[in-house]
Amino acid sequence: MNLRKYLGLSAASLAFAIPLSVSSVARAETHGYVISWFATATYNLDRKASCPENRNGGRTENYHRQLTQIGYTEAEADEIMKTQGGTLEAKYETRVATRGSVNGKPAIIYNYPESVADPNIETVVGKIAYGFDLGVKNDKMKFEDPDTHQKIDNQLWRAVGCTHSFDTNPPDRPYFEDLTWHLMIDSAPAWSVMLTGDDLSKDGKVTITMDLLTQHLKRDAAGNVLTGATYVIDSGPRSHNVLQGEIKNGVLSITPKDIYLEGEMPFYAEIAMHDTHMRINMKSPDGTLSGYWGGFLDWQRYAYMYTARPVNGQDVVGMWHALKKFADADPDPKTGQNRMISATWRMEAVPAFLATEEGKLVASPVPVSTAPQPEKVAAAPTN
């Protein structure tokens, strides 16, 4: 598998797909959405089973461990941490950050994570994780999906699931991705999802089109992503994806395919997933979508999002090494090191109007009542 090669082909072929997808809109019902949340899928309902040693710790434990890695004894590290107020002052931080060595010279560990030894962070040994069966031939490493109860592949979760920032369950969000998501969405172009089918309220075949938008997301009064806003689709072919899918019992799945959406740091620089599977719930009363994407990622590109800088509460070098160890697809022909890792993302999307750059409306929100019903709530303010 060569994702870059695939992407080159994809861009060229998708240039022809645009007029096809737009023309099909005229014949069928098309609902528009914008992606309102996207991140590593977490599962921690049984944290003890997943991470029984609980040894990765949080920010304080991580700093303590790093102090010992630059030569302090356990006792010395204890004493230092007593004076640090939960953080690490610059003189220690700098030494921690530059403790790597490349060709005999000091190296910044965030740029050269392999310049220091693998700290062997704790990784997931539990049995449950969200995901899809991607066909990896290693039954011992498979998880069971809590919704479908099928054996699934998600070694990314195995690698990172015991680190502090992932100790959440949906709808709560993993700390770091939540933080960077909010940093990104007020400035970076958003992503759209367009569903086209004969009757999207019923089971049947669906075409899913995903694109980059020309504008960033709008927020509502509660700080969430606004529903019912209008966005313009970026006409560039690079982030244009057309997938075939099917709705069964209100759940949308797709014929596996590669997906590419241009992103922006400090969040994902790209949403690039090979052999993507989807399981999207369409039954929410307010018309939102929520569910999971699973497939293979370039583990280095994923790791870069975390390891390129110090992230509170996480041993980013440890994460690098864990991701590398658990990568389970696309071996490098020279080294044998796998370049891809099975992974699952959680995504949510809210209804939106979508238009082309030429000003043509191509999708409308799912027709649920746009009016909130506060009268249903006993605690509604009555002033």
> Footprint of other proteins on this chain (CB under 8 A)?
187, 189, 214-216, 218-222, 224, 226-230, 232, 353, 355, 357, 359, 361, 364, 369-378, 380-383
Shortest reach from residue 217's CB to other proteins, in Å: 11
How big is the CA angle at 186 (ends 312 and 240), to the nearest 5 degrees?
105
E strand spans, 29-73: 29-40
Stated as kind and residue range, the H or E segment containing 14 is helix 3-25
Residues 6+ apart with CB under 8 A from 288: 33, 36, 227, 348, 349, 350, 351
Shortest reach from residue 224's CB to other proteins, in Å: 7
Give 188 or 247: the residue with its C-beta nearer to other proteins.
188
Cα(69)–Cα(195) distance, rounded to whole angstroms?
52
Give 262 or 275: the residue with its C-beta nearer to other proteins.
262
Shortest reach from residue 23's CB to other proteins, in Å: 19
Could you tell me if 330 and 339 are in contact, meaning their C-beta atoms sit under 8 angstroms apart?
Answer: yes
- Per DSSP bridges, beta strands 329-331 and 353-355 are unpaired
Cα(83)–Cα(327) distance, rounded to whole angstroms?
39
Shortest reach from residue 367's CB to other proteins, in Å: 10
Cα(318)–Cα(128) distance, rounded to whole angstroms?
22
Q: Which two tokens stand for residue 89?
A: 């002052």
Give 139 or 375: the residue with its C-beta nearer to other proteins.
375
Shortest reach from residue 281's CB to other proteins, in Å: 21
Give 90 or 379: the residue with its C-beta nearer to other proteins.
379
Shortest reach from residue 22's CB to other proteins, in Å: 15
Shortest reach from residue 283's CB to other proteins, in Å: 19
Give 90 or 221: the residue with its C-beta nearer to other proteins.
221
Could you tell me if 154 and 343 are in contact, meaning their C-beta atoms sit under 8 angstroms apart?
Answer: yes
Give 19 or 359: the residue with its C-beta nearer to other proteins.
359
Give 106 or 228: the residue with its C-beta nearer to other proteins.
228
Shortest reach from residue 266's CB to other proteins, in Å: 17
- Taking alpha carbons only, the member of 6, 15, 5 closest to residue 275 is 6
Cα(311)–Cα(54) distance, rounded to whole angstroms?
19
Q: Which two tokens stand for residue 51?
A: 């991470």
Give 75 or 371: the residue with its C-beta nearer to other proteins.
371
Shortest reach from residue 190's CB to other proteins, in Å: 9
How big is the CA angle at 148 (ends 156 and 51), to the nearest 5 degrees?
40
Identify how many contiguous H helices and E strands the chain contains and give both numbers.
Answer: 9, 17
- Taking alpha carbons only, the member of 47, 135, 98, 109 closest to residue 314 is 109
Could you tell me if 328 and 153 are in contact, meaning their C-beta atoms sit under 8 angstroms apart?
Answer: yes
How big is the CA angle at 132 (ends 127 and 137), to the nearest 5 degrees?
75
Give 86 or 367: the residue with its C-beta nearer to other proteins.
367
Give 90 or 378: the residue with its C-beta nearer to other proteins.
378
Shortest reach from residue 269's CB to other proteins, in Å: 17
